[in-house]
Structure 1
Amino acid sequence: MQVTETLNEGLKRAYTLMVTAQELDEKVNEKLLEAQPEIEMKGFRKGKVPMALLKKQFGQRLLGEAMQETIDGAMNQHFEDSGDRPAVQPEVKMTNEDWKEGDDVHVEMSYEKLPEIPEVDLASISLERLVVKADDASVDEALSNLADAAKDYKARDEGAAAEDGDQVVFDFVGKVDGEAFEGGSAEDYPLVLGSGQFIPGFEEQLVGVKAGEEKDVTVTFPEEYQAEHLAGKEAVFTCTIKEVKAPAAAELDDELAKKFGAEDLDGLKGQIRERLEAEYAGAARAVLKRDLLDKLDALVSFELPPSLVEAEAGQIAHQLYHEEHPDDHGHDHGSIETTDEHKKLAERRVRLGLLLAELGQKAEVQVTDAEMTQAIMNQARQYPGQERQFFEFVQQNAQMQQQLRAPIFEDKVIDYVCELAKVDDKEVSKDDLEKAVEALESDD
């Protein structure tokens, strides 16, 4: 095997590899010798088939395998000797396309190597971690929201008119062009006025109705209504009002607490306080992480593989396009041009990604099987009833596994860096934390 360097420019590398016909022949013979003891052929005992006959019978088929293994071996040896780590899969192509058996094989290999990552003095980094305690007012507000969510509806006084927010219990029959249609009728239907549960214009017409009344509600189905035979058509719903109920917030007592799994009201307040402070801690970590990444980005500078930057810029442009065009769910929108802003953000992401990967590798950061299982379970919850199929899909999809593993690895590296950096806690108000989070979102 002869390897000759043809390009050494920045991170770009290219080589020509030549596999001689003799090397290929030796490799084929080696494979035949390895298989010979197990081969049976008519007229010969097992393991006694002559090599010449074996070569005639199987040589052509083994030649392709030998060629691939020899080239792969040469590439692996090259990366081991040079220490290069390709940024993406190397491009390999055979240059003598008119090759025939007995010829040498000429191959070109090109790739971009990963750069050398400079050392970073992590102990020199100073960070501030925001700490927010859940005050009584926040706990009371959350408790009030729980009581509102657990509210019941109680019958209004006889003859009282329905107000926005009330629950109306009624029978209805819907007709289009005088004909009742499937799915357009129900009995004892409880509808909260203003909930947006029915098509636009329906609930507003029930404001003011009273128990015992009958009222026709006239609405027009939206043009994009899911039932095509009703889309854009006018319908009349004859509604018979049975009850009008006003919302009644749940009492803030031990009974309410038990509905939410607590022993008593004080226990529920304690759970709320813990949940709020966990939410604050999560938001504070996001602020801390951005501050850390900003400082790391300012500390390091190294050449970036153009292919990684280009791919990342394309992904950013594609993501932003769909955020700006939420109704375009397909991918037939043609190419999306990347801007200097996309490229600048891509360079930051690639630089920090390579740096964190290097720090994690040196620190021997590992994502455990238990952490991966938990990540898969969390993702699987988005597909109720199909959790098992999702698990099997992830097990068979290496790319999906990497997508789930990457954020776990990154968070563990961030934790590792924070352990070595100087981190001071600073107690702030909830408003201050919200402003810090809003500042993050405005920078994205």
Structure 2
Amino acid sequence: MQVTETLNEGLKRGYAITITAAEIEAKVNEKLAEAQPEVEMKGFRKGKVPMALLKKQFGPRIMGEVMQESVDGAMSKHFEDSGDRPAMQPEVKMTNEDWKEGDDVNVEMSYEKLPEIPEVDLSTITLDKLVVKSDDAAVDEALGNLAETAQDFKDRKKGSKAKDGDQVVMDFVGKVDGEAFEGGSAEDYPLVLGSNSFIPGFEDQLVGVKEGEEKAVTVSFPDDYQAENLAGKEAVFDCTIKAVKEPKAGEINDEMAKKFGAEDLAALKTQIAERLEAEYAGAARAVMKRGLLDALDKAVSFDLPPSLVDAEAGQIAHQLWHEENPDVEGHDHPDVTPTDEHKTLAERRVRLGLLLAELGQKAEVEVTDAEMSQAVMNQARQYPGQERQFFEFVQQNPQMQQQLRAPLFEDKVVDFVFDQATVTEKEISKDELQKAVEALEDE
């Protein structure tokens, strides 16, 4: 076997690989000899089939296997000897397409190698760790928000007109073409105006009704309504208003606390304080991580594989296009051409991705099976009732496994770098933290 370099330009590499006919024939004969003792063929005892007959019967198939194994072996040996790591799957093609048995096999292989990553003295990186304490005001604000969600309704003064946000208690009968339809009637039904829980236009017509009033509400069912017998048809609902109630925030007391699973109000306040501090810590970590990535980006410079940059730029452009065109769910749309801005962002992402991968490898950072299982479980919760199918999908899909593993690995490497860097705690207010997070989103 001969390997000749044909291209060495930046990170691009090209090689011509020649596997001689003699090598191929020797490996074919070796495989046939290994198989001969187990081969049975009509007219011959087991293991006594002549080699010439074996070669005629099985030679072409084994020849294909040998050629593939030889090319794979040549590639593996090349990467082992050279130490190169391809950025993406190498391109391999056979150049003598008119090959016939007895000819050498000529193959061209090209790829972009991953660059050498320079060393970074992580102790020279300085970072601020933002710290926010959950004060009484923040806890009280969160309690107030909970009270709003635990709202009740109380009767309005007799004769009051219903407003948007009020609850109307009513009996109603729905009719199409003068005939009541199944599922279109109810008694003592509590409807919050503005909740959009009924057919579009229904609740709007009840704004201004009073207790004791009778109101005919005329609406049209949507064309795509789930009940085909009603889809697109006009209906009249005869409504009898039995009560008009205004919203009333829940009282902040032990009873409200129990509705949210706490023993009493004091326990609920403790839970809220802990949740707020966890939220603050998560937001502060995001700010600190951005500071770290900015510092690393400035600390290193090396050549980037063009194929990785182009692929990342294309992905960024495609993602942003869908964000700007949310109505287009599929990918049947015109090609999206990356801009210089997309390419600049792609270069940063590729550079930092390669650097973090190198740091993680040298620090022997690994994602454990338990961490991976937890990530799969978290993702599976997005598909209620289909958790098992999702687990099986992940098990059978290496690309999906990598998508789940990559952010776990990155976060563990980031935590490792945090430990090596010089970190100073800086106590700030909740509003200041909010501004810092908003600044991340604006960049």
Q: How does 1:221-260 map to 2 (within 5 A)?
A: 235-260=235-260
Alpha-carbon displacement from aligned partner over 1:132-183 (angstroms, at most 9, x marks no partner): 1111111011111112212223344544432322211223334556565665
Q: Matched residues in 1 for 2:215 and 2:183: separation?
A: 19
State the match for 2:300 in structure 1.
300
State the match for 2:322 in structure 1.
322
Post-superposition offset of 1:283? 0.6
TM-score (normalizing by structure 2): 0.95
Alpha-carbon displacement from aligned partner over 1:208-258 (angstroms, at most 9, x marks no partner): 322332102234566777778877765543222233233232222222222
Q: How does 1:360-379 map to 2 (within 5 A)?
A: 360-379=360-379
State the match for 2:400 in structure 1.
400
Q: Tell me which amino acid in the other structure corresponds to 1:31.
A: K
State the match for 2:410 in structure 1.
410
Q: Matched residues in 2 for 1:188 and 1:26: separation?
A: 89
Q: Tell me which amino acid in the other structure corresponds to 2:402.
A: Q
State the match for 1:213 in structure 2.
213
Q: Tell me which amino acid in the other structure corresponds to 1:208.
A: G
* Runs of at least 5 residues in structure 1 that lack an aligned partner in the other structure: none
Q: Matched residues in 1 for 2:248 and 2:363: separation?
A: 57
State the match for 2:113 in structure 1.
113
Q: How does 1:335-350 map to 2 (within 5 A)?
A: 335-350=335-350
Alpha-carbon displacement from aligned partner over 1:263-288 (angstroms, at most 9, x marks no partner): 21111100000001100111111100
Alpha-carbon displacement from aligned partner over 1:339-362 (angstroms, at most 9, x marks no partner): 100100000000000000010011
Post-superposition offset of 1:47? 2.7
* Runs of at least 5 residues in structure 2 that lack an aligned partner in the other structure: none
Q: Matched residues in 1 for 2:240 and 2:332: separation?
A: 49
Q: Matched residues in 1 for 2:165 and 2:18: separation?
A: 80
Q: Matched residues in 1 for 2:258 and 2:397: separation?
A: 43
Q: Tell me which amino acid in the other structure corresponds to 2:415.
A: D
Q: Matched residues in 2 for 1:390 and 1:117: separation?
A: 37
Q: Tell me which amino acid in the other structure corresponds to 1:385.
A: G
State the match for 1:197 in structure 2.
197
Q: Tell me which amino acid in the other structure corresponds to 1:284.
A: A
Q: Matched residues in 1 for 2:244 and 2:45: separation?
A: 95
Q: How does 1:14-413 map to 2 (within 5 A)?
A: 14-175=14-175, 184-219=184-219, 235-413=235-413
Q: Matched residues in 1 for 2:328 and 2:335: separation?
A: 14
State the match for 2:11 in structure 1.
11
Task: Give the aligned length.
Answer: 443
Q: Which deviates more, 241-250 or 178-187?
A: 178-187
Q: Which deviates more, 330-339 or 146-155?
A: 146-155
Provide the secondary structure at the position in 2 that maps to 1:188.
strand
Provide the secondary structure at the position in 1 that maps to 2:366.
coil
| Percentage of identical aligned residues | 78
Aligned residues: CA RMSD: 2.0
Provide the secondary structure at the position in 2 that maps to 1:208.
coil
TM-score (normalizing by structure 1): 0.94
Q: Matched residues in 2 for 1:191 and 1:221: separation?
A: 18
Q: Matched residues in 2 for 1:180 and 1:318: separation?
A: 51
Post-superposition offset of 1:99? 0.8
Alpha-carbon displacement from aligned partner over 1:31-77 (angstroms, at most 9, x marks no partner): 12222232222333333333222212111110000000000000000
Q: Tell me which amino acid in the other structure corresponds to 2:425.
A: D
Alpha-carbon displacement from aligned partner over 1:379-401 (angstroms, at most 9, x marks no partner): 00000000000000000000000
Post-superposition offset of 1:203? 1.9
Provide the secondary structure at the position in 1 that maps to 2:172.
strand
Provide the secondary structure at the position in 1 that maps to 2:84.
coil
Provide the secondary structure at the position in 1 that maps to 2:153.
strand
Q: Matched residues in 2 for 1:36 and 1:240: separation?
A: 92
Q: Which deviates more, 239-248 or 431-440?
A: 239-248
Q: Matched residues in 1 for 2:346 and 2:302: separation?
A: 14
